[in-house]
Amino acid sequence: MQEDDDYFVSLLQFEDNADKNYVHPQGEASAIWTVQHNLNKFPSCTMVLSTGQQGYGDVTFIDENNLTITFAGAESGKAYIN
């Protein structure tokens, strides 16, 4: 630093803006998948069944870190949470 020069000092701390995500593996077929994702938000969910088809279930948000997915019958596969 030099005399008579102007400087800018910031005390702000920026968070990493990368979007967080989680993949929930559901190996055992179940009609209700309980997912603890720990993303601290209410995320979107895409389910892919073990057959490779997209799954359609009702998503219920318990809180910002937990949700359940309810299917009409027992299914296995993965839930992509982001």
- Say which amino acid occupies 40: N
pLDDT value, residue 19:
82
Domain boundaries, the chain: 22-81
Q: What is the mean pLDDT of the chain?
A: 90
Residue range 9-46, pLDDT digits in tens: 656 555 666 789 999 999 999 999 999 999 999 999 99
Is the pLDDT at 52 greater than 70? The verdict is yes
DSSP tag of 82: -
CA within 13 Å, CB half, 28 = 4
pLDDT value, residue 20:
92
